[in-house]
Amino acid sequence: MYSQQLQQKTFLVLLIAVSIAFGWILWPFYGAVFWAAVLAILFMPFHRRVLASLKQRRNSAALLTLLVCLVIVILPLSAITSSLIQDGVAVYQRIRSGEIDFGAYFQQVVAAMPTWMSGALRRFGLGDLSGLQEKLTAGAAEGTQMVAKQAVSIGQNTLDFVISFGIMLYLLFFFLRDGTVLAARIKQAIPLTANHKQQLFSKFTTVIRATVKGNIVVAATQGALGGIMFWFLGIQGALLWGVVMAFLSLLPAVGAGLIWVPVSVYFLLTGAVWQGGALIVFGVFVIGLVDNVLRPLLVGKDTKLPDYVVLISTLGGMSLFGLNGFVIGPVIAALFIAAWDLFSSPAVPKGDVAS
């Protein structure tokens, strides 16, 4: 007869092994599973209201919530992505044909520089303007080639995208319908105190909603405003630059200014004073203030991580998980801080971990 301790250890090893194997099986579609869970968390409050209005008909409520999610989130994103690919390909073709020449733009900026600025460039070893122009042109060519390759890759992986998209919608339906039961079972299985589990789950759902509802809305607003201003000023590829500004807006402290500031400087140095001045005023007083106005309304100051934590966790998450990392990174950072806060809390005994 085997001892009880040996049986417990064997079962624990088996549990870990099958969990790792199951995660390995799901890994090719982890993005679909992840976004299904994110959207379910985001739309769960709405789903509860629909469920109550439909007198607890779970299937009908989940289906209706799924349709609302499609109309509000997924279909608009699909339309923007399609337009973005077309705009990116058009910009790439203009660069290849010479219609857009970054080297010529750079030469115009250099020619408009005052004497003291040209002297400063030479003192820093940047006096070889022709060499800098060649490097800039080569860098732009490499960048556009990379964009073109990504566009081709998206086209080649259309079938994989459709499959992942279908899996996401399928899982989203069941996460909405059975989400409360699944969350209760997960809480029950985690060997922590009820207080710890409640605080960690609350932090997890809060950060998910804050990141998606707050950061994405802020980024989309800043990108849309920047793209509209670029279109008004006649800048080619306004949609493309707007999307780039939206992505950069996910990063605090730097954000969309990495795009509109150099463009405004180019306008000023090349004599387009009113365009440069208008872009600076719009960037500072409209684009720049969106974060300060919208984020507290959508997220709440008490749920906001420090800017430096958001920056490094977003960059690290995106380097490891790609586009999904802008949510995964801050969530892991928030759980890290929450777990250490619980551990260091004098009101909670360190040894009282198991429920």
pLDDT for 10: 87
Can you give the residue range of the structural domain that contains 101?
28-189
Asked whether residue 222 falls in the same domain as residue 240, the answer is yes
- pLDDT in tens for each of the 355 residues of the chain? 567 778 788 888 898 899 899 889 988 888 889 889 888 888 888 899 998 888 888 899 999 999 988 888 777 777 666 666 666 666 666 666 666 655 566 666 666 666 666 666 666 655 555 555 566 556 555 655 555 555 555 555 566 777 888 898 899 999 999 888 888 888 888 777 888 788 778 777 877 777 777 777 888 888 889 889 988 888 877 777 888 888 777 776 567 888 888 888 878 877 788 888 898 899 888 888 887 777 666 655 555 677 777 778 878 888 888 778 878 888 888 888 878 877 776 555 444 444 4
HEC assignment per residue over 227-292: HHHHHHCCCCCHHHHHHHHHHHCCCCCCCCHHHHHHHHHHHHHCCCHHHHHHHHHHHHHHHHHHHH
Asked whether residue 252 falls in the same domain as residue 331, the answer is yes
Kindly report the pTM of this predicted structure.
0.67
Choose the final residue of a domain: 189, 207, 230.
Answer: 189
Asked whether residue 339 falls in the same domain as residue 281, the answer is yes
d(CA 222, CA 286) in angstroms, rounded, equals 9
Asked whether residue 159 falls in the same domain as residue 296, the answer is no
d(CA 21, CA 24) in angstroms, rounded, equals 5
Give DSSP secondary structure letters for 290-307.
Answer: HHHHHHHHHT-GGGPPPH
Asked whether residue 136 falls in the same domain as residue 277, the answer is no
Asked whether residue 170 falls in the same domain as residue 127, the answer is yes
How many structural domains does the chain have?
2
Token output for 262: 């150099």
pLDDT for 355: 41
**Residue labelled with tokens 């809390």:** 345
Residue partners of 199: CB distance under 8 A and separation at least 6: 338, 342
Asked whether residue 185 falls in the same domain as residue 197, the answer is no
With contact defined as beta carbons under 8 Å apart, do 298 and 213 qualify? Answer: yes
pLDDT for 21: 92
Choose the final residue of a domain: 136, 159, 189.
Answer: 189
pLDDT for 147: 53
pLDDT for 354: 45
Cα-based angle 215, 258, 232 (whole degrees, multiple of 5): 90
Asked whether residue 137 falls in the same domain as residue 208, the answer is no
On whether residue 21 sits in a domain, the answer given is no
